[in-house]
Structure formats: C-alpha cells, structure tokens
Amino acid sequence: MRAEYKEECRYAEDIAEDTKAVLEKWLKRYGWDIPELDEDVAAKLILTQMRKTLDELEVQYCGGSCGTEPPSCETP
C-alpha cells in the first residue's frame, strides 16, 4: 500500500471532523449576523461554496477530477 494511502487511512476521521467544524464555524458566524437564521438555508449556501472551492482544488491538484479511491483501510 502506498504511503499516501496509509496516511489517508490514518487521518480520514480527522479530515471529516475538520470539515464538519468548518461548516459549524460558518453557521455560527452567519448566526451572529442574522438572529432569525434558518440554519438549513445557511448550511445549503455554505456547503455550495465549500463544493465550489473543492472543485477548484480538484482542478488545481488533480487536473479536474481526483476520483482516487484508496484501498480499504481495514486492518487484518
């Protein structure tokens, strides 16, 4: 298994937690400015922007589409 795949397996949960924390950070910030905030609408707007940014990063690092699936992270 490639070293990069081992790192992905090692850090997958941390990356997921960090991603969720970014969404929560921005939901909180929206709430500061909009007391009657509809969190569902705000989340959709934030996630749309996050997806646009991820698309830009895929172009930068993968030539358009990463589509890389590492081998299973399960340990024997």
Per-residue pLDDT, 36: 95
CA distance 14 to 34: 30
DSSP assignment of 28-40, as one string? HHHHHH-TT--HH
Q: Give pTM, 2 decimals.
A: 0.80
Percent of all residues in the chain with a pLDDT value above 70, rounded to a whole number:
95
Structure tokens at 17: 């937690």
Per-residue pLDDT, 75: 61
Name the residue ranges covered by the structural domains of the chain: 13-62
What parts of the chain have a pLDDT lower than 50? none
Burial of 10 (0-12, 13-18, 19+ CB in 10 A): exposed
Q: Is the dihedral of CA 9, 7, 70, 73 positive or negative?
A: negative
Per-residue pLDDT, 67: 79
